[in-house]
Structures are given as C-alpha cells and as structure tokens.
Amino acid sequence: MATVNSNYRKLQAGYLFPEIGRRTRQFLADNPGVQVMRLGIGNTTEPLTPTIIRGLHEGVEVLAQVETYTGYGDEQGETALREALARRYKGYGAELDADEFFVSDGAKPDTANIQSIFGLDNVVAIQDPAYPVYVDSNVIAGRTGQGVNGQYEGLVYMPCTAENGFFPDLPQGKVDLIYLCSPNNPTGAVATHAQLKVFVDYALAHKAIIIYDSAYASFISDPSLPRSIYEIEGAKKCAIEINSFSKEGGFTGVRLGWAVVPKTVECENSEPGEIRRMWFRRQTTMFNGASNIVQKGGLAILSEAGQAECREVIGYYMRNARAIREGLEALGLTCFGGVNAPYIWLQTPGGMASWDFFDKLLREAHVVGTPGSGFGPRGEGYFRLSAFGHHADVLRAIESIQKNLKL
C-alpha cells in the first residue's frame, strides 16, 4: 500500500504563477473581447539575436552529420561552455575552475534541487519576500512544519522591507542554509559588497551555506555592485551560486543555466570537496545534462558578439523598467527596484492587500501583475511588475493604468 509524500499537502494554494494564470483566464472568460496586458510573469518576449540563432542552428546541424553527431555529453556540461563561464567569473575577480561549474537546464531546477544534498535537519533561512521555489522545495523535502498564513513553521523568514532597503539583517537564531537572491526577485533590490560580506562572514563563522541566486546579474549596470557572490572574500568556502541564461539571453523556453559549487565549499560534517562531489553525484544520477543544441546557444551568448547583442536586449527591457517606474511614480505611487533589475516593486495604494490590487488592476486597467504576497508574508501590500514585454505593450499598459486605475 503505497502512500504519497504528505509534505505536498502542506503547500499553500497553487504555485503563484498558475494561480495568476487561472484568475486571468477566468477574467477573460467573463469579459470576452477584452485585451489583457501582461506585466506579470518574468517572461522574455524579444526574439533571440542573430549570433545566438546561428549558434543554435549550428548545434542542430552537427547532429545531422555522422562525423559530428554526439549523444550523451560531458557530465557537467560542455567543457568549452564551462571554461567560458569560468572566464566570465575571472572578469568579476573570482578565480574558479571549469570543473566547479555544472551546466543545467535552468536556475529553477537548480535552486529547487540544491537543498537535496543537505540534511533534512538543516534550518533554512529565506528572504521575505522571496522567489517561491526556495520555500516550496524545502516544504516538499520535509524541512518545514505546516503553513500558517503563508508562513511555514520551522522556516526562518528574514524580513526585507523598505526600512532595510530590502536586504535582510542577519537572522537571530541558528540557521544553516541561507537563500539570497540579488538582483532580487521580486523586490529589484541589489545587494552591495558590504551587505553580502555580512552574510559571508556569518556563514564562515557558523559553517552555514549560502545559496546565492544571481539569475538577474546581467541587469546590473552600476559597476560598483557585485555580479557574483564570489566577489566577496571567503565566499568560495561557504557559497553555492546559481545563474541562468533565461533572462540574459532570452532562454526562458530554451532552458540553460549553471550552478557553481566550489571544491572549497564546506559545512559542519563535510569532508574536503564533498559538497561539490555530492552535487556531481546528484546531477549524474538524477539529471542527464542540458540539451547539446542549447549548450551551443549558450556558447554563442558568451561570445563577444553574443554579449554585445544581449546587452542591447537587456537595454531594451530596462527602458521598459524605467517607463513603468516613471509612469507609476507620476501617479504618486511608491516604487522600488527597476534600476539594476528588471522588476519594479510597487507599494499598493492605501495598503491594499496584494491579491485585491491584482484583481483591481486586472478589472480596471486590464493589466496583469504579480501579487507581492505570493512571495511571502512581507510581500503583502506590494506588487511586482515585470519589465519583460514589448516596449509598445508596456507603454500601453502604463497608459491604461494612468487612465483607468481608480486611486
């Protein structure tokens, strides 16, 4: 008599984005003919650039010839791709070996699966608000108790508020696994060197592990802000970094990312190099590598021409971000983020509940956003707007908000 993993039943409501989809479909069914404008999911909309398209076509073409066809690839991902990633990090001032990189099918699977190489007794600290995957993967694994009012027993929530600039203070009690995301999804805040150093020093002192999600690093334009946690001294002993080509190269649907697990990362009971070896074992046992075609696209993204093209597209999205932020501020709304990150974190008017504002914005302005409370209790009273979209559509959405939203 098999039984299900009852931890799944602790998960509250649907995963955020399916729930947004459900409400939007319902609205469209109730209001036929209405055009909805989407500033919700952080989903890329601009086509892949010529260099990347060429790389992908070449990736297909090599599979057509018996001389160049390949089956299963290198276990950690193509060597050339890992070497190119290592060169990128060298540019950040971080010396990492190519075999400390693990190419994957994206940051979501990696951020969800990384917890599985740690013990179930580890206490998990997350920024509040945070990308829901950090929380949900730990709920499913059994590291939490029940959820009460959007908060799970046993998890340590680190408040990120306007008061602390949306970067948390150190947690009070003992914590073992600390998830940090910068540039932050959903708040758009970017951690400084000094802010990260506080956490790295804490992790080193307490043998805690930082899981650092830098999926939006390519949106940082301020050269004084760190693009990788390995810019902080000591981070190679306590931090795992996860990143992705999804937003940098438009690969949300193409699927490619990477994790960095330095050989020097260690925790309480690990032998030298063991954490990296465990992730290697996890990935070779439960994953079979990112698509070989897609990895060729990743190499194209990292080429000089690819990087120049990606910067153009990122600039395009960041013009959207500015239009959103300025458009909303002109209405007297308070906004954060949107400068070195593609997300604008909007304070709902009059302290309205996030899902109420979702419904109001959809009903009045026909604009879909993401309720802040979907990212954690401290997201309540906030709302995330995404800069991903065609520029004309974004302008139309902002215009509709300016014209139709009853404030």
Query: Which is closer to a copy of itself, CB of 8 or CB of 164?
Result: 8
State how far Cα 379 lies from the chain centre. Answer: 16
End-to-end CA distance of the chain: 57
* Least CB distance to a copy of itself at residue 5 (A): 5
Query: Element (H or E) spanning 337, and its range?
Result: strand 335-337
* Least CB distance to a copy of itself at residue 182 (A): 20
* Least CB distance to a copy of itself at residue 137 (A): 6
Query: Which is closer to a copy of itself, CB of 116 or CB of 402?
Result: 116
- Neighbouring residues of 294: CB distance < 8 A, sequence distance ≥ 6: 56, 59, 105, 251, 254, 255, 256
Query: Which is closer to a copy of itself, CB of 48 or CB of 190?
Result: 48
Q: Of 196, 189, 203, nearest to 161 (Cα)?
A: 189
Tokens of 123: 């206490």
Query: Which is closer to a copy of itself, CB of 206 or CB of 363?
Result: 206
Round to whole Å and give the CA distance between 377 and 247: 26
Round to whole Å and give the CA distance between 36 and 330: 22
- Neighbouring residues of 85: CB distance < 8 A, sequence distance ≥ 6: 98, 101, 258, 302
* Least CB distance to a copy of itself at residue 191 (A): 21
Query: Which is closer to a copy of itself, CB of 47 or CB of 154?
Result: 47
* Least CB distance to a copy of itself at residue 65 (A): 6
Query: Which is closer to a copy of itself, CB of 43 or CB of 400?
Result: 43
Query: Which is closer to a copy of itself, CB of 206 or CB of 360?
Result: 206
* Least CB distance to a copy of itself at residue 352 (A): 28
Burial (CB count <10 Å: 0-12, 13-18, 19+), residue 92:
middle
Q: What is the DSSP letter of 306?
A: H
Round to whole Å and give the CA distance between 116 and 138: 9
Amino acid at 76: Q
Q: Residue 98: count other Cβ atoms within 10 Å of its Cβ.
A: 16
* Least CB distance to a copy of itself at residue 73 (A): 5
Round to whole Å and give the CA distance between 37 and 335: 20
* Least CB distance to a copy of itself at residue 243 (A): 14
Query: Which is closer to a copy of itself, CB of 254 or CB of 328?
Result: 254
Which residues, listed in sequence order, are joined to residue 386 by a DSSP beta bridge?
343
CB 336 within 8 A of CB 321: no
- Give the distance between the most distant pair of CA atoms in the chain: 66
* Least CB distance to a copy of itself at residue 163 (A): 29
- The region that residue 177 occupies, defined by phi over 0 for left and psi between -120 and 50 for alpha, beta otherwise, is beta
Query: Which is closer to a copy of itself, CB of 47 or CB of 93?
Result: 47
* Least CB distance to a copy of itself at residue 1 (A): 4
Query: Which is closer to a copy of itself, CB of 113 or CB of 195?
Result: 113
Angle at 319 between CA 318 and CA 323, to 5 degrees: 115
- Neighbouring residues of 51: CB distance < 8 A, sequence distance ≥ 6: 300, 303, 305, 306, 309
